[in-house]
Amino acid sequence: MKMATVRALTISTLAIFSIGALAAAQDAPASVSPLFGVALPSGYRDWQVVSVAHEAGDLNDVRAILGNSIAMQAFRTGRRPFPDGTIIARLAWKYESSPRNDAIFGKAQSFVAGAPTNVQIEVKDSRRYAATGGWGYGQFVDGRADPSEALMKTCVTCHSKLPAPDDRIFTSYAP
Ligand code: HEC
């Protein structure tokens, strides 16, 4: 092969690779939330339990609220506002009856976690998130950040309805 042909081939191969890489980057799951740039914290599934909750109605889910060590310390001592570095995770699953468990009880009374719905994250950084009371938000499905800015605004609107001393956090520590 002539040198020029080799060069042309190399260039076109590179071009194809770059276009491929670009397309992959665009399709890649967003790892951080819009507006806040909040990522799914590594190891959050191993954090300690703050409390649990159940939403009825359309959501019909069961939830666990977990905190990193800074969050746990603040929850246990009732420290408000939460210090910078606090991260709170809210996991949720479909709320489902368990025919298998009911059969053993002999009556319908067992409800368990079904498929996961989404994970919501709150990060305290009083400087970075000064405009939203010090809190940054993110919602994740299958590890991917929901790309909706409008959704992020609902987090702020609803959580900021709480009285100031609650520091925008609904959950209290369940001992
Ligand atoms: C309409 C009101 C409303 C909206 C909108 C809302 N939340 Fe909440 N959030 C609540 C309530 C009430 C709780 C406590 C009970 C529960 O978990 O269901 C809660 C709990 C939480 C918790 C557990 C810690 C805490 O604050 O009590 C996290 C984390 C959280 N929300 C994140 C988010 C994120 C992220 C969004 C936006 C994607 C969001 N929330 C949108 C009402 C709301």
pLDDT, tens digit (0-9, with 9 covering 90-100), for 58-106: 999 999 999 999 999 999 999 999 999 999 999 999 999 999 999 999 9
CA 90 to ligand 1: nearest atom: 29
Comparing 159 with 2, which gets the higher pLDDT? 159
Total count of residues recorded for the chain: 175
With b for 16 or more beta-carbon neighbours within 10 A and e for fewer, the 137-169 pattern comes to bbbbeeeebbeeeeebeebbeebeeeeeeebbb
Phi, psi (deg, nearest 5) at residue 53: -150, 160
Name the residue ranges covered by the structural domains of the chain.
1-29, 31-166
* Contacts by residues 7-14 (CB-CB < 8 Å, ≥ 24 positions apart): none
Q: Is the CB of 170 under 6 A from ligand 1?
A: yes
What's the mean pLDDT in 160-169?
A: 98
170 CA distance to ligand 1 middle (Å): 7
pLDDT of 47 higher than 90: yes
pLDDT of 52 higher than 70: yes
- Rounded Cα distance between 67 and 140, Å, is 16
pLDDT band at 25 (very low <50, low <70, confident <90, very high): very low
CA 59 to ligand 1: nearest atom: 18
pLDDT of 21 higher than 50: no
pLDDT of 24 higher than 60: no
Looking at domain 31-166, which CATH architecture does it have?
3-Layer(bba) Sandwich (3.50)
pLDDT band at 30 (very low <50, low <70, confident <90, very high): confident
Q: Is the CB of 51 under 6 A from ligand 1?
A: no
In sequence order, what are the beta bridge partners of 116? 93
pLDDT of 23 higher than 50: no
| Residue 139 CB contacts under 8 Å (≥ 6 apart), including other chains | 33, 118, 119, 120, 121, 145, 146, 151, 152, 155
Residue 56: strand, helix, or coil: coil
Q: Is the CB of 118 under 6 A from ligand 1?
A: no
What's the mean pLDDT in 116-125?
A: 98
pLDDT of residue 130: 98
